[in-house]
Amino acid sequence: MEILTVRNLSFTYPQQAQKALEGINLTAEEGDFIVLCGPSGSGKTTLLRLLKRELAPFGEKTGEIRLFSKPMEDKAISPFDVGFIMQNPYAQLVTDKVWHELSFTLENMGKKGNDIRRITGELASFFGITAWYHKSTDVLSGGQVQLLNLAAVMAASPKLLLLDEPLSQLDPVSACDFIQMLVRLNRELSLTVVIAEHRLEGLFAEADQVVLMDQGKIALSGAPKQAVPKMQTLANRQKLMPLMPSAVQVFTELSGEGSAPLNVRQGRNFLQRTYKTTVRSLPEKTVRQKGRCVLALRNLWFRYEKKGEDVLKNLCLSIYERETLCILGANGAGKSTLLQVMAAQYRPYSGKLSLSQGKTVALLPQNPVNLFLKDTVKEDYTALLRRCGMEERCREERIRQVCTTLAITDLLDRHPLDLSGGQQQKAALGKLLLLQPQILLLDEPTKGIDAAAKQALAELFLRLTQTGPSVVIVTHDVEFAAVCADRCALLFDGQIVSEDTPAAFFGGNSFYTTAASRMSRTMYDDCITCADVVEICKANGKLQEETI
C-alpha cells in the first residue's frame, strides 16, 4: 500500500531567495523504514514538517504531496494518521503525569473510558513504562521522556511516523534502546517510519532506504548497501562521507572495494579478516600541559528542593586554563545541573565553588532558542553588543569575525525559529562568542549538527583554548568528545566517577565509548576514532591474500 508520495516538491521560506527544498521526489510503501541524512540545513526538518499538515511551515510551496493515496489537503486524512516526534523531548509533553500523557491523545479522539484504560495499559506494557506509569513527567530522564513521547504518539495508531532527530538528546544507551523500539514497531506493526537523524550508528543498517540530502536536494537514495558505493561517485563525497557510520568511513578510507560493512559487528569482521595485528597500538599522543586552575568545585552538594533528593553529591572537579573538558553520563545524571551550578545559576547548599578573579563565564543552554529575543539573528547579536556599550563600527566587525569563524553569515537575516536545530546551535554559540568569555560552558553543543560542523567545532575549540577560554562541554556525542577533548569525565550518582584522557577514558569503557573503539578493540588498543583505526590498519598492512 502506498503511504507517502512526494512529487517535484520545492519550498521557499518568506523573504529568502534560496529554496529550502528543490525538486524532491520520494515514495514510501507500507512498512518502509526510511532514514533521511545530510548536512545541517540540507532541508530534512523542512521536508518532515511539510509532511505533517498541522506543522507545515509558512512559505511558497510547489509540487505535490500525497498521503495514503490521497492529496495531503484531503480532509479525510485525520491528524492522527501521521505521528510526529520532535527533536527536543520536553517540547512535546502536554501533561504533568505519565499516565495522563498516554491517555491525552485518546481523550482528544473521543475514546470511551474503558477503551482508554485498555489502550494505555497495553502501551505501558509494550513500551516498558509500567514501573514509572504514575510518576510526574518532570522527574523523568531525557530517554524516558522520548520513549513516552513515542508511546503517546502510537496511542493514536498512526499509519506514518515522522521523527526529527529523536536521538539528539539521548545518551548512548538510551539511543540504542530507542532505535530498537522503533525497529520493533516497524517490523511487528508494519508501521512506516521516516526518520531524520545525524547519529546513524545502529540506525543505518536497519533502513530499507537511505535518502541523503544536500542543499535542499536529494543527492542519492537507495538501500544502505547501494547508497555507500553511490556516495563514492559524488563530486562532494569528501563532505558527505563523514555523515556515515564509523564502519562505512573506515572501510571507504582503507579499501572502498566490495560490500561495505554497515555496523560495528560487520566492521569488526572486516578488520579481522583483512588486517594484521603486528602493531597493537599507536604512539601516545602529545597531551597539552595543564594551565592553572580557573574554576574549582570542592565537595559540592546540590538539590532542587529542601526535602528533595541530592542531584550532586560531594562532587569535586577542577577546570584548567586552555583545556577542553567533556562531561558524559546518562540522561538525568545531573550534567546540565552541574553546568548551571558552575554558571552560578544555582547555589549548592554545601561545598565551595572558586572562580579565578577576573574570569567571566558564559553558558549555552540545552535549548538554544531561549537565547534569542529578536526577529533575526543579526538583530539579536546587535542588541546584545549595544547593551554592552560597543560602538556600531566595532559591533559590525565583531559580528563579522564570529560569523566567519562559525560559517553562519547566511543565517544573519533568518528568524531563529526558522532555523534547523543545528543552525540554532551554531547561532546561539555565536552569541556567546560575541561576549569573549574566559570560561565557556556548553550543554549539548553538537545536538542537531552534522559531522562537518562537528569537526569545524572541534577545530574551533582547539584554536580558542590555545589562547582564549577554557571550554566545558556536556555531551552524549562520544565521537565528538573523542576528537576534541583534552580530558573526559563521567558523572554518575551525583559524582565524577571517572576522569582521564580520551584514549584512556574511551578505551576503558564498554558502553560510553565510540563505535571505532568497539570495532577495533579486539585487535588494537585505545583506537577511539575512525582516523586512529585507519592509521593503525595502514601501519599493520593487509594479511596475505591466501589467508583472507
**What distance lies between CA 50 and its chain's CA centroid?**
22
**pLDDT of 546 above 70:** no
CA distance 221 to 34: 10
Residue 466 lies in a domain: yes
Residue 262 lies in a domain: no
Residue 443 lies in a domain: yes
- Residue 256: the pLDDT is 64
| CATH number for position 101 | 3.40.50.300
Q: Are residues 32 and 127 in the same domain?
A: yes
Mean pLDDT across the stretch 102-130?
93
% of the chain beyond a pLDDT of 90: 70
Residue 209 lies in a domain: yes
Count of positions (residues) in the chain: 548
Residue 231 lies in a domain: no
CA distance 323 to 485: 8
Q: Are residues 310 and 379 in the same domain?
A: no
Per-residue confidence band for 255, with pLDDT thresholds at 50, 70 and 90: confident
**pLDDT of 295 above 70:** yes
Per-residue confidence band for 285, with pLDDT thresholds at 50, 70 and 90: confident
Nearest alpha carbon to residue 79 among 100, 104, 46, 52? 52
Q: Residue 308: how many CB atoms within 10 A of its CB? A: 9
Rounded to two decimals, what is the model's pTM? 0.85
**pLDDT of 548 above 60:** no
Q: Are residues 315 and 424 in the same domain?
A: no
pLDDT tens sequence across 417-449: 888 767 888 899 899 999 889 999 999 888 877
CA distance 146 to 152: 10
Q: Are residues 198 and 167 in the same domain?
A: yes
Asked if 6 and 24 touch (Cβ cutoff 8 Å), the reply is yes
Q: Are residues 152 and 200 in the same domain?
A: yes
Q: Are residues 108 and 200 in the same domain?
A: yes
H or E element that contains 496: strand 495-500
- Residue 249: the pLDDT is 93
Cell numbers that stand for 238 in this block: 569528501
Q: Last residue of some domain: 435, 464, 484?
A: 435
Q: Are residues 356 and 503 in the same domain?
A: yes
CA distance 304 to 329: 19
Boundaries of domain holding 313? 288-360+437-513
Q: Last residue of some domain: 406, 435, 464?
A: 435
Who has greater pLDDT, 422 or 29?
A: 29
Q: What is the residue-averaged pLDDT of the chain?
A: 91
Residue 97 lies in a domain: yes
Mean pLDDT across the stretch 387-412?
90
Q: Are residues 452 and 338 in the same domain?
A: yes
Residue 519 lies in a domain: no
Q: Residue 512: how many CB atoms within 10 A of its CB? A: 21
Q: Are residues 55 and 41 in the same domain?
A: yes
Q: Are residues 125 and 68 in the same domain?
A: yes
Residue 420 DSSP label: -
Cross-strand pairs, 7: 64
Q: How many domains does the chain have?
A: 3
CA distance 448 to 473: 15
CA distance 277 to 261: 20
Which strands sit side by side in the sheet containing 2-12, from one edge to the other?
A: 21-29, 2-12, 60-67, 70-71
CA distance 152 to 84: 10
Q: What are phi and psi of 228, to 5 degrees?
A: -65, -55
**What distance lies between CA 46 and its chain's CA centroid?**
17
Q: Are residues 407 and 504 in the same domain?
A: no
Half-sphere exposure of 380 (CA within 13 A, CB side): 25
Task: Please provide the DSSP assignment of 428-475 as one string.
Answer: HHHHHHTT--SEEEEESTTTT--HHHHHHHHHHHHHHHHHS-EEEEE-
**Which of these ranges, 139-143, 206-210, 303-307, has the smallest mean pLDDT?**
139-143
Coil vs helix vs strand at 516? helix
